[in-house]
Amino acid sequence: MLITLTFFLQGFLSAIFAGFLGALMGVGGGIIMVPILTVYMGVPIQVAIAASIASVIATSNAGGSGYLEQRITNVKLAFFLEVSTTVGALAGSIIALLLNSQILFLLFGVMLLYLTIVVFRARNLDEAKFASGAFGKAKQDRVTGYLDLKGSYHDAAEGKDVEYIVNGSLPGSVIAFFAGIGSGLLGIGGGVFKVSAMNKYMNVPMKVAVATSKFMIGVTAAVSAVTYFAAGKLDFYVLAPVALGTTIGATMGTRIMNRIKARNLKLLFTFIILYLAYTMLAHGLTAWGINIPYLGGS
């Protein structure tokens, strides 16, 4: 694909925005990049998805290293959940061959709508747990106790160190598994599922969930990126400005995430999930001839 200076600037600047937002939310930013590449820059959908997936790795490398430096990421928890996610990604690839993908878009859309409600209703949960110290008083389950999953981080917005004990390994693993299926099937990073699972069901503070998800999505995206790379769908001239932009954006995002109140992060996160749920439902409904407009749709 031939690129011009305008094309480069459009891709680069929008990728900075996507990388920045992705670092704040613990997601890859594909839900922003794919519509921009297809609708505004005229890139074919498969090439856009391939570039977006590869750029998720760039944002994970930049965001993940930033949060590791600030010691917010829980590395052991990330390794634990990566097992379920990877198995899910493999299952997703197999399911994609057997089932109608439109039905799966609908299923994921409904699941995301449910998560939107869950996250919105829990928007004040972190502050309440900070006040009561509940993050550090939870009882570990057998698995998290065996793996000794717990940690602490300095919350810059609250101005104090927060200790937490991880539990809920079963619901966390199940949702991480579905995040993997979503990644293998639909070409998304699955960060929205992972952040929701850790924060709501595993007693992990929102900021640790964001940092840990950011760290994890690189591996999931690498699996999908290899597939696109092997299929010859990765256009280096589309990927280059996007990867550079998301790297810069994610680096900027990691510098400010810890200074934002968890409640405000969750409100922004709710908006992102709701948008993704709408996109998936709209995509799924096209199978029945129902055409609802959405960004990135044909």
Partner 1 sequence: MADVNRALYWVLVIGMTISSGLFALGLAAYAIASLEQYSEPVLFSATVVLIATPVVRALVGTIAFTMNRQMRAA
**Where does this chain bind partner 1 (CB under 8 A)?**
3, 8, 54, 57-58, 60-62, 64-65, 68-69, 71, 73, 75-76, 79-80, 82, 146-148, 218-219, 221-222, 225-226, 229, 234, 236-237, 239-241, 243-244, 247
Please, what is the minimum distance in Å from the beta carbon of residue 115 to partner 1?
25
Please, what is the minimum distance in Å from the beta carbon of residue 253 to partner 1?
14
Please, what is the minimum distance in Å from the beta carbon of residue 250 to partner 1?
9
Which residue's CB is nearer to partner 1, number 242 or number 281? 242
Question: Do 149 and 77 touch, CB atoms closer than 8 A?
Answer: yes
What tokens does 63 get? Answer: 């965001």
Q: What is the DSSP letter of 230?
A: H
Which residue's CB is nearer to partner 1, number 40 or number 237? 237
Report the C-alpha gap between 135 and 142 in whole angstroms: 18
Which residue's CB is nearer to partner 1, number 148 or number 163? 148
Considering only CA atoms, which of 227, 189, 179 is closest in space to residue 55?
189
Helices (H) and strands (E) in the chain, counts: 12, 2
Which residue's CB is nearer to partner 1, number 101 or number 152? 152
Question: Do 275 and 91 touch, CB atoms closer than 8 A?
Answer: no
Please, what is the minimum distance in Å from the beta carbon of residue 266 to partner 1?
26
- 289: alpha, beta or left? (left if phi > 0; alpha if psi -120 to 50): left
Please, what is the minimum distance in Å from the beta carbon of residue 199 to partner 1?
21
Please, what is the minimum distance in Å from the beta carbon of residue 174 to partner 1?
20
Which residue's CB is nearer to partner 1, number 53 or number 125? 53
Which residue's CB is nearer to partner 1, number 175 or number 216? 216
Report the C-alpha gap between 204 and 151 in whole angstroms: 9
Which residue's CB is nearer to partner 1, number 85 or number 196? 85
Please, what is the minimum distance in Å from the beta carbon of residue 78 to partner 1?
8
Question: Do 48 and 33 touch, CB atoms closer than 8 A?
Answer: yes
Report the C-alpha gap between 101 and 266 in whole angstroms: 30
Q: What is the DSSP letter of 140?
A: P
Per DSSP, the residues of 257-289 read HTTS-HHHHHHHHHHHHHHHHHHHHHHHHGGGT
